[in-house]
Amino acid sequence: MRIKILAVGRAAGTPEAALVSEYLKRLPWQADIREIEVKGRLKAAERGRRENDLLIKAIPSDARLVVLDEGGNRLTSAEFAKTIDRWRQQAINTLAFMIGGADGLNETVKMRADAVISLSDMTLPHLMARAVLAEQIYRAYTILENHPYHRA
């Protein structure tokens, strides 16, 4: 299985980027993050449109798309692990997780998604959302492998 995190903005050199890197390294699956960035002074609507376009173009053709959105389904860690396991059993080769920018993702992107999930009822900074997502993907792996990390 391959994991792709598609996210708006650059995180290089931040503590959050180090956390994401650490959790993705622990996975036996191929996992990485692809950051997109729209430069220049643009109105919010235009910036959001361009970000959404770039994110859509970054989706691997064979991927199951999971969009992170505050209005998405709320899953426990165990439910998240079961969902990943179900896709794995369906021979889904790639899971692409998408995190939008400050203005979120448009309805076209959400409708294209195979799943829309929320990480929390609380608002998370975008860089922290990446770290929480990476940790939850690793936690899902440990749940599926009956590794003690989940119970620690």
User: What does the alpha-carbon distance between residue 77 and residue 65 come to, in Å, rounded to a whole number?
Assistant: 18
Tell me which residue of 49, 18, 24, 20 sits closest to 36, measured CA to CA.
49
Q: Over the range 103-114, which residues count as b (16 or more CB within 10 Å of their CB) and which as e?
A: ebbbeebbeebe
Closest CA relative to residue 112, chosen from 63, 65, 48: 65
Cβ contacts of 106 within 8 Å, gap of 6 or more: 48, 49, 52
Distances (CA, A) of 56 to 26, 41, 63, 110, 129: 27, 22, 12, 11, 19
Q: What is the pTM of this model?
A: 0.94
Tokens of 55: 């994110």
- Tokens representing 4 are 């792709």
Say which residue the tokens 């643009």 belong to: 42
Query: Which domains occur in the chain, in start order?
Result: 2-147 (3.40.1280.10)
- pLDDT in tens for each of the 152 residues of the chain? 999 999 999 988 999 999 999 999 999 999 999 999 988 888 988 988 999 999 999 999 999 999 999 899 999 999 999 999 999 999 999 999 999 988 889 888 999 999 999 999 998 888 999 999 999 999 999 999 998 886 65
